[in-house]
Amino acid sequence: MTLTIRPATPSDLPLIAQLIRDLAEYEKLAHEVRFDEAVLQAKLFGARPYAEVVIGELDGTPQGFALFFHNFSTFEGRPGIYLEDLFVRPAARGAGLGKALLSHLAALAIERDCARLEWSVLDWNEPAIGFYRRLGARLMDEWTVMRVDGAELAQLGAGAR
């Protein structure tokens, strides 16, 4: 079995969109998927890309992806890579593709002089947590994710004007 990781291209947009939907279904969050493919394409492949995607293939067939972007650590004074989404299709799990995707991102972080690679995982997703721990990742128990979106984001943003 041949395993490859390659950068996504604009022609991969339908594949990326489907993998995002598949991930959302797995995470029981399909009802939260609201993206418009044209906007997604502009944000990933337009004049100012906001994120990057790599595609994982087994024997030339796309079976997973990782979507990531740079963040910045003020304490380190260096960038990091934030992994927004990692997904391997169920039929392809156990073939090493998830580890290969994370290894690719780790190598990219080193190449780009990043201080760290980090991501969030749903607290109920024990298989993923165990997988990540086996790769050397640790839970950041002392941190809580905060979010502002929708009407609250609009209201907070209106306060800046």
Token duo for residue 132: 């990540």
Residue 105 burial (10 A CB sphere; 0-12, 13-18, 19+): buried
pLDDT band at 159 (very low <50, low <70, confident <90, very high): confident
* DSSP string of 98-157, one letter each residue: HHHHHHHHHHHHHHTT-S-EEE---TT-HHHHHHHHHTT----TT-------HHHHHHHH
What mean pLDDT is predicted for residues 73-102? 97
Q: Whole-prediction pTM value?
A: 0.94
Mean of the pLDDT values across residues 67-76? 97
Where b means 16+ CB within 10 Å and e means fewer, 20-29 reads: bebbbebbee
Model confidence pLDDT, tens digit, residues 5-63: 999 999 999 999 999 999 999 999 999 999 999 999 999 999 999 999 999 999 999 99
CA 39 – CA 33 distance, rounded (Å): 13
DSSP conformation letters of 5-40: EEE--GGGHHHHHHHHHHHHHHTT-GGG----HHHH
- CATH number of the domain where residue 12 is located: 3.40.630.30
Q: How confident is the model at residue 160 (pLDDT cuts 50, 70, 90)?
A: confident
132 annotated active-site: yes
Domain count for the chain: 1
Work out the average pLDDT over 77-101.
97
Of 26, 50, 82, 132, the active-site residue reads 132
CB atoms under 10 Å from CB of 39, counted, come to 10
What is the reported pLDDT for 68? 98
What confidence score (pLDDT) does residue 82 get?
Answer: 98
Query: 122: which 2 tokens?
Result: 């749903």
- Domain residues for the domain of 36 are 3-158
> Could you read off the pLDDT of 122-156 as tens digits, one per residue?
999 999 999 999 999 999 999 988 999 999 999 99
